[in-house]
């Protein structure tokens, strides 16, 4: 019998996890489930000890892991202390694009396989990014708020204040992975010309999509709309900053639904106030939630949402399904598809062969 902990939250619930695993492991699998409900997203995630973007507490996770061999989660804090106190744990499935809430070095030292779920929110995030573009380009949020406050903004129909169309616009995508490539497909259906900056993208795939891969500086100079879809790494931290934001055409629209750390937000209020930047749409922040005195809260032509790009029911179900597939593979002795520490699996496989 295999004991499984479904450490869910209010988005990917324990029930969604357990149903996905049962459906993929089959009726013959001898499984028992324990459940742990974490407070995210009703309580924001944050760093916990050595891991990032985690929810819940280390003591409650250690208690829930007693006798557990397989754990699945989105946000539980798998720190070094957790691994030191979970001797039965052998496999963790994290339904995110990367297991940032797992101390991977500690997991590897403990001999625990860690899998993850790339692409689980790609469609949701791509659609949301395009929605932010349209909302910012057509002043939807401002017009809605003013109309509800009793103001009929006829001035939005004047030439100087009129919006922009995606048809015929040049849109620059910073990052051309799973999300960026879907955004590109949607934009090309609108009639946009799409540029990308991604030094790691497959050149043949980008060219086949009808997209031009250019330098970051060239993308900024040529794009009426810029949308970020890169991973946050030391290399990409503040890749948009005071030194290069001035390259944008006057009145350009900037969208960030990827990670707050990709942009230095400090120069943006002045750029918006001067009209050098026409509009800003953001779903992610340096600090989440942003503080009450954050300057962009009072800046003109800003659309803000509380990190919602991946928030669809399909994303939750898809994430659990990806992890459920890898749990089933692990239970069957097959290598999971998305292993973050493959050296641990290789050791387990060698032991299995010797047995």
- Give the active site residue among 96, 222, 307, 318: 307
Rg (CA), the chain: 23
Catalytic one among 66, 217, 288, 349?
Answer: 288
Q: 169 phi and psi, to 5 degrees?
A: -80, 150
How far apart CA 94 and CA 173 sit, in angstroms, is: 28
Residue 349 falls in the annotated catalytic set: no
- What is the reported pTM? 0.90
Question: What confidence score (pLDDT) does residue 173 get?
Answer: 98
**235 part of the active site:** no
Is 259 an active-site residue?
A: yes
Token pair recorded at residue 218: 């060239």
- Cβ-contact 164, 301 below 8 angstroms: no
Identify the CATH number of the domain defined by range 122-304. Answer: 3.40.50.720
Strand order from edge to edge, sheet including 252-256: 212-213, 193-197, 170-174, 225-228, 252-256, 277-282, 302-304
What are the backbone angles phi and psi of residue 61, rounded to the nearest 5°?
-70, -45
pLDDT at position 26: 86
Give the pLDDT of residue 354: 54
Q: For 151-162, what is each residue's pLDDT tens digit?
A: 999 999 999 899
CATH superfamily of 2-120+312-354: NAD(P)-binding Rossmann-like Domain (3.40.50.720)
Task: Look at residue 76 in the predicted model and tell me its pLDDT.
Answer: 98
What pLDDT is attached to residue 355?
53
What is the full per-residue pLDDT of the chain (355 aa) written as tens digits?
Answer: 999 999 999 999 999 999 999 999 987 889 999 999 999 999 999 999 999 999 999 999 999 999 999 999 999 999 999 999 999 999 999 999 999 999 999 999 999 999 999 999 999 999 999 999 999 999 999 999 999 999 999 999 999 899 999 999 999 999 999 999 999 999 999 999 999 999 999 999 999 999 999 999 999 999 999 999 999 999 999 999 999 999 999 999 999 999 999 999 999 999 999 999 999 999 999 988 999 999 999 999 999 999 999 999 999 999 999 999 999 999 999 999 999 999 999 888 777 665 5
Spatial distance between the Cα atoms of 291 and 141, rounded to a whole number of angstroms: 21
**Where in the sequence of the chain do the CATH 3.40.50.720 domains occur?**
2-120+312-354, 122-304
The catalytic residue among 229, 259, 318, 329 is 259
């Amino acid at each position: 019998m295999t004991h499984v902990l479904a450490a869910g939250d209010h988005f990917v619930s324990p029930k969604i996890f357990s149903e996905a695993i049962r459906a993929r492991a089959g009726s013959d699998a001898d499984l028992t489930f324990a459940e742990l409900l974490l407070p995210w997203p009703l309580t924001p995630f944050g760093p916990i000890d050595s891991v990032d973007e985690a929810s819940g507490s280390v003591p409650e996770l250690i208690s829930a892991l007693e006798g557990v061999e397989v754990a699945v989660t989105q946000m539980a804090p798998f720190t070094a202390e957790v691994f030191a106190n979970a001797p039965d744990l052998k496999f963790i499935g994290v339904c995110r694009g990367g297991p940032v809430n797992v101390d991977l070095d500690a997991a590897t030292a403990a001999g625990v396989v860690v899998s993850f779920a790339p692409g689980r929110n790609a469609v949701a995030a791509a659609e949301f990014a395009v929605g932010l573009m349209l909302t910012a380009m057509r002043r939807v949020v401002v017009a809605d708020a003013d109309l509800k406050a009793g103001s009929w903004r006829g001035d939005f129909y004047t030439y100087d204040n009129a919006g922009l169309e995606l048809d015929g616009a040049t849109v620059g995508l910073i990052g051309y992975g799973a999300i960026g490539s879907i955004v590109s497909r949607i934009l090309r259906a609108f009639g946009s010309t799409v540029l990308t900056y991604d030094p790691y993208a497959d050149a043949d795939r980008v060219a086949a999509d009808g997209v031009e891969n250019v330098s970051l500086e060239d993308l900024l100079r040529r794009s009426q709309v810029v949308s970020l879809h890169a991973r946050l790494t030391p290399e990409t931290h503040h890749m948009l900053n005071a030194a290069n934001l001035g390259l944008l055409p006057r009145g350009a629209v900037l969208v960030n639904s990827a990670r707050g750390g990709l942009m230095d937000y400090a120069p943006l209020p002045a750029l918006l106030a001067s009209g050098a930047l026409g509009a800003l749409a953001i779903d992610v922040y340096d600090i989440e939630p942003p503080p009450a005195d954050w300057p962009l809260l009072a800046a003109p032509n800003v659309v803000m949402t509380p990190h919602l790009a991946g928030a669809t029911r399909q994303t939750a179900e898809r994430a659990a399904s990806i992890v459920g597939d890898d749990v089933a593979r692990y239970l069957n002795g097959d290598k999971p598809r998305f292993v973050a520490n493959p050296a641990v699996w290789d050791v387990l496989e060698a032991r299995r062969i010797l047995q």
